[in-house]
Copies of this chain bind each other. A is one copy, B any other.
């Protein structure tokens, strides 16, 4: 099948498929006379594996690792478990962080003396204070999980 059909079947944008190929996550398919990519059933499976992992918010690096483990069938699944456990702990940590955040934001929200002018707004006043709650932790470890915003 051609890339468009694969894209429809796997519910994945065409450009994303080509991107995975460039990144070495998806094996290069054969080409038609007109230089179109021609995919087989195994490509679909492979792609669906990747998409399933991504839907669980794993990073492409993690997916890459899983794909490698998948291809070394003699090894034990200890590493698969380890990878998954680590990922779960990333998620749990992020949930804790966000709960903290939510609490702080709700406190902040209550600072507003509703309806007044901006000059008296308790929220802006509060924000101008240096709370510095962990702001400067230079070595703050970064998370790979998706961020919060929706740029509409």
Interface residues, chain A, CB within 8 Å of chain B?
Answer: 10-13, 45, 48-49, 51-57, 59, 61, 66, 69-70, 72-78, 80-81, 84-85, 87-88, 90-95, 98-99, 101-102, 104-106, 108-109, 112, 114-121, 123-124, 127-136, 138, 141-152
Contacts and interface: CB of A to CB of B under 8 A. Distances in A.
Contact of A129 (B52, B85, B108): B52
A149 B59 contact: yes
Given A88-B109, A151-B144, A73 B127 contact: no
Contact of A127 (B49, B75, B78, B124): B49
A145 B147 contact: yes
Contact of A51 (B78, B104, B132, B143): B132
Contact of A123 (B61, B80, B94, B99): B80
Nearest to A59: B149
B116 A66 contact: no
